[in-house]
């Protein structure tokens, strides 16, 4: 008999989520046409992170992987979901997992103290705010099933 699913709450220690840092990409168009590789590496990071967390928690099966996808991450969530699906196909631990993606809006901060969603011009002083959130891709939660002891 399978036990009840275990929810790993990202807000309680031990600390999950594991941050997936995106490699810095150059401005400009030279990466055009390579977006699949880019999205593949994101999908792979999500897969590897979830798998590691599941293994550490003695998972028999992973049911669901929740991911926060920054709106400014410059990657297609659909593409990443698709690639994630192909990655887990042959993995008995992961193949039943669904990927739940929530897209998070950007957050920027200005030297004048402004904080909000404006990315290109500060509504308070007209300066260029710095993007502090919205580019990252985080595994926030995984739902696993463990074997009975
Ligand atoms: Zn400002």
In a domain, 120, yes or no: no
Q: Tell me, yes or no, whether 87 lies in a domain.
A: yes
In a domain, residue 78? The reply is yes
Task: Spell out the residues 6+ positions from residue 9 whose beta carbon is closer than 8 angstroms to its own.
Answer: 141
Q: How far is the CA of 65 from the centre of ligand 1 (A)?
A: 37
Determine the straight-line distance between the first and last CA of the chain, rounded to whole angstroms.
Answer: 11
In a domain, 112, yes or no: no
CA of 106 to the centre of ligand 1 (A): 16
User: How many angstroms does the Cα of residue 77 sit away from the middle of ligand 1?
Assistant: 31
Helices marked H in 11-101 — which ranges?
35-56, 77-88
Query: What's the predicted TM-score (pTM) here?
Result: 0.69
Residue 88 maps to a domain: yes
Q: What is the CATH number of the domain that holds 46?
A: 3.30.2320.50
In a domain, 47, yes or no: yes
The number of distinct structural domains making up the chain is: 1
Task: State the residue range of the domain holding 89.
Answer: 6-21+34-107+133-146
User: Is 28 among the domain residues?
Assistant: no
Distance CA 139, CA 141 (A): 6
Amino acid 46: pLDDT? 97
Q: Scanning the structure block, which residue is given the tokens 């928690």?
A: 57
Residue 17 domain-assigned (yes or no): yes
Q: Along the 149 residues of the chain, how does pLDDT read in single tens digits?
A: 555 555 554 444 444 444 444 444 444 434 444 456 789 999 999 999 999 999 999 999 999 999 999 998 888 999 999 999 999 999 999 999 999 999 999 999 999 999 999 989 999 999 999 999 998 999 999 999 997 65
Q: Compute, in angstroms, the gap from residue 132 CA to the centroid of ligand 1.
A: 14
Determine the distance separating the centroid of ligand 1 and the alpha carbon of 49, expressed in angstroms: 37
* pLDDT (0 to 100) of residue 16: 43
């Amino acid at each position: 008999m399978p036990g009840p699913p275990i929810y790993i709450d990202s807000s309680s220690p031990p600390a999950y989520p594991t941050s997936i840092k995106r490699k810095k990409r150059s401005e400009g168009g030279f990466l055009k046409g390579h977006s699949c590789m880019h999205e593949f590496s994101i999908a792979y990071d999500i897969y590897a992170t979830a798998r590691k967390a599941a293994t550490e928690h003695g998972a028999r099966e992973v049911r669901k992987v929740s991911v926060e996808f920054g709106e400014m991450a410059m990657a297609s969530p659909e593409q990443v979901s698709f690639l994630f699906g192909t990655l887990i196909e042959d993995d008995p631990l992961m193949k039943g997992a669904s990927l739940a993606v929530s897209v998070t809006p950007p957050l920027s901060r200005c030297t004048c103290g402004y904080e909000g969603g404006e990315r290109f011009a500060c509504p308070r002083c007209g300066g260029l705010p710095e993007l502090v959130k919205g580019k990252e891709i985080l595994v926030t939660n995984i739902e696993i099933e463990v074997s009975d002891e």
